[in-house]
Amino acid sequence: MPTSNQRARGDKQEGLSTGSPIDVPKHRLHTLIGEGGFGQVWSADRESDGRRVAIKILHLELVRSIDALTRFQREVEAIQRLEHPNVVRALDHGTLGDGRPYVVLEYVEGPNLREVIHERRFIPPTEVLQILEPLCEALAVAHDAGLVHRDVKASNVILGRTPDGALRPVLLDFGLVKLLDETGPGLTSSRSMLGTPAAMAPEQMRGLPVDARTDVYAIGLLAYHMLTGQPAFSGGPGVVQSYLQVHGPRPRPSAKIEIDPAIDEPIMKALATEPGDRPASTRDFIESLRRAISPPESELVEVLVLYVEATPPVIERATQLAGEAGLVIAIAAPDSVLAVAPRELVDAAKLKAALAGLENVHAALGISIAAIRGKVVDGPALDVESWAPYPIAAGLWVGDGV
């Protein structure tokens, strides 16, 4: 399927031949591959060696704007500060004869992440990790260098490939970057809330100071988008979405798609309204997400597992009994509940006696393994079929060794 770059080349191939050619020193421009309110991005060949590059050029009408020139200068400085394989590289920069600044970037072949999500509908958790881990490290390096990206979203990530074919997610567009150690001219207050509202943290919407946790919020939004195929806050006009981002409940991916509910916690923490309630860094976030998606083997312990299917009143009673026995509720629904606890911490005989008093139930009490981190449970125990005969027969089934 054609990538966005290929579509752009097809759609805008005539732009250069029919419009006024742009003369960038030592480069031969080919096609317009992207355009926004800030500038244009062209594919080009470097005359010295024929290397394919991308050239970003400020719109001519913005050359008199101090805000626009400052933002362009920030982007060039930000990319030059960073030496990371998952950040687009700046190769050169300069100014055209008409005063427009430009920056020459490496050309990354591949679809953007937004296209991939749209085409595949959602991305499985393990693939989400493969994409987000290098991006989170790239952002952490940026934060260490005093930079906050402020516009992390799916369309600003290209899924490129290394020469040996390995996946190489690349973060683009540092046009809204914040230099935390900046001492020169800043942006005017009237332009301080620039960005994509659906990808903005609450403090950005309020015009408050930003830091690394602003990008943590954006990465949380991106993780939700990848896992579910939908924006975290959607379904209404822009003003409603903005209100929900600041005041609404934090969304749970497992409410939209069938994934382990343990994945909800790190994403909801990243999307906390107050920056102080979020992980302090993108490294902290990706570590918590990694542990939720693929818990280390060392965290798996032998557990006693209770699973009950019944009417809501009976489920309420079964949940109460599980809590009294010291079990952690792992999955709860109106007509079912699954709870676990380390095997040695539960009086199995007492729990069996209490469960015997329940009527009209399909229940199972068995042994499995799981990772328990506070109230978050992950591991084979969540799959009832792996430790009990399923579907569960009427009454109480008790596994060997309980």
Which residues does the annotation mark as catalytic? 151
Q: Where are the alpha helices (DSSP H) in 277-347?
A: 282-293, 312-324
Burial of residue 278 (number of CB atoms within 10 Å: 0-12, 13-18, 19+):
buried
**Residue 212 to residues 80, 94, 144, 162, 364, Cα–Cα distance (Å):** 19, 30, 9, 28, 46
Contact by Cβ (8 Å): 340, 372: yes
Cβ atoms of 53 and 104 within 8 Å: the answer is: yes
List 397's β-bridge partners, or say none: 364
Whole-number Å distance between alpha carbons of 381 and 370 = 6
List of residues 6+ apart from 298 with CB closer than 8 A: none
Helix (H) or strand (E) holding 14: helix 13-18
Handedness of CA 185, 189, 191, 193 (dihedral sign): positive
Calpha distance 301→379 (Å, rounded): 9
Count how many residues are written for the chain.
Answer: 402
SS percent in the chain: helix, strand, coil, step 5: 40, 25, 35
Q: Backbone dihedral region of 108: left (phi > 0), alpha (psi from -120 to 50 degrees) or beta?
A: beta
Cα angle value 320/324/328 (rounded, 5°):
80
- Residue type at 200? M
Classify residue 200 as exposed, middle or buried by CB count within 10 Å of its CB (0-12, 13-18, 19+).
buried
To the nearest 10 degrees (0 to 180), the angle between helices 212-228 and 282-293 is: 30
Q: Do residues 351 and 365 touch, judged by C-beta distance below 8 A?
A: yes
